[in-house]
Amino acid sequence: MYTCSDLKKGLKLLIDGEPHVIVQFDFTKPGKGQALYKCKLRNMLTGALFDRTYRSGESFEPASLEERDMQYLYQDETGYVFMDQRTYEQVTIPEDVLGDDKYFLIDNMEVKVLMFGERGIGVTLPNFVNLRVTKAEPWVKGDTAAGNSKPATVETGYTLQVPSFVEEGTLIQIDTRTGEYVTRVKE
């Protein structure tokens, strides 16, 4: 069990039977009375944000979450399907839970899936992923008025800014934490 003094940003708690993560935290000690702990919480199942204020002395149950090594298999109408590397059990994560991480998934990619019970509620991707550019505007020599970058679309449908020398068919490295271009990859 956690107490109020354990509260901090990033802590995962079980509230009303669902896992929540603290996204913002503020401690206030008024002149008289108990200390107040103001938290902004995000429901890890629905993504909903809400504010709660706790008084010192309250206790909280930790969320029983487990991170498993899994392999991304494919996408179907229900979501994205991952397979546990040890048990070969398959877990489907809905598209809305993945958010922008879906643009960086490649078939057979190994990821860490955050599990709540038997339900997948999040994915930790590798820091960098290599994707092929499928659409990029041609660059005309001397066309520097628009700056040094141009939009490009990669094989997963993600659009990002790349340097002007990147062409269609080029394999590029993307930082999955920021979604930005890192470098060209030699094949």
Residue 131 has pLDDT above 90, yes or no: yes
Query: Which of 33-47, 71-85, 95-109, 129-143 is modeled with the greatest confidence?
Result: 71-85
The alpha-helical segments, DSSP class H, found in 73-135 are 95-98
What torsion do the CA atoms of 96, 100, 102, 106 make, to the nearest 10 degrees? Answer: -170
Tell me how far apart the alpha carbons of residues 155 and 71 are, in angstroms, rounded to a whole number.
Answer: 19
Question: Which pLDDT does position 143 carry in this prediction?
Answer: 59
Nearest CA-CA partner of 115 in 101, 97, 99: 97
What is the number of helices (H) and of strands (E) in the chain?
1, 16
71: which DSSP letter?
E
The stretch 109-137 carries a mean pLDDT of: 91
pLDDT of 146 higher than 60:
no
The chain-wide mean pLDDT, for the chain, equals 88
Instruction: Examine the pLDDT at 145 and tell me if it is beyond 60.
Output: no
Its pTM surpasses 0.85: no
pLDDT tens digits for range 147-176: 678 899 999 999 999 988 888 999 999 999
Q: Is the pLDDT of residue 144 over 70?
A: no
Q: How far is CA 5 from CA 14, 21, 85, 101, in A?
A: 16, 16, 38, 33
Per-domain boundaries in the chain: 2-62, 65-124, 128-184
Of 165, 163, 164, nearest in space to 182 by CA = 163
Q: Which band of pLDDT confidence, cut at 50, 70 and 90, is reported for residue 29?
A: confident
How many Cβ atoms from other residues are within 10 Å of residue 7's Cβ?
A: 19
Q: Do domains 2-62 and 128-184 have the same CATH topology?
A: no
Q: Tell me, what amino acid is at 119? A: R
Q: Does the structural domain 2-62 have CATH classification 3.90.550.10?
A: no
Q: What span, in angstroms and rounded, lies between the C-alpha atoms of 151 and 142?
A: 18
CA-nearest of 9, 5, 35 to 22 is 9
Mean of pLDDT values over 80-102: 89
Cβ distance 82 to 121 under 8 Å? no
Of the pLDDT bands very low, low, confident and very high (cuts 50, 70, 90), residue 95 is confident
Q: With a cut of 80, say whether residue 47 has pLDDT above it.
A: no
Q: Is the pLDDT of residue 139 over 80?
A: no
CATH 2.40.50.140 fits 65-124, yes or no: yes
CA distances from 56 to 20, 23, 41, 110 (A): 19, 19, 18, 42
For range 97-103, the mean pLDDT: 86
Whether CATH 2.40.50.140 fits 128-184: yes
CA dist 7 and 48 (Å) reads 19
Percentage of the chain with pLDDT > 90? 42
Q: Quick one: pLDDT at residue 90?
A: 93
pLDDT at 55 over 80: yes
